[in-house]
Amino acid sequence: MSQQVYAGAELVCSLGSNYSNLIIASPDDAEGKDRRVANIMDSIAVLNIVSFGLCSSINNPAVAAATTADIPPGADRETGTGTNRVVPQPCLPLTVGSWSPGAAHRLANGLPALTDTCTLKCAFGGTIGVKNPGSV
Which is more confident, 76 or 121? 121
Q: Say yes or no to pLDDT of 30 above 50.
A: no
Question: Is there a contact between 4 and 117 (Cβ–Cβ < 8 Å)?
Answer: no
| pLDDT bucket at 135, cuts 50 / 70 / 90 | confident
What would the pLDDT profile of 67-118 be if each residue is shown by its tens digit? 988 766 666 556 555 556 899 999 999 999 999 999 989 999 999 999 999 9
Please, what CATH class does the domain formed by 1-53+91-136 belong to? mainly beta
Domain residue limits, the chain: 1-53+91-136
Residue 26's pLDDT is: 60
Write down the pLDDT at residue 17. Answer: 98
Nearest to 84 by CA among 58, 53, 60, 59: 58
5-16 confidence digits (pLDDT tens): 999 999 999 999
What is the reported pLDDT for 78?
60
Rounded distance between C-alpha atoms, residue 45 and residue 131, angstroms: 18
Q: Provide the pLDDT for residue 34.
A: 60
Q: Write down the pLDDT at residue 104.
A: 87
Over range 34-57, report the average pLDDT: 94
- The CA-based angle 26-22-16, given to 5 degrees, is 145
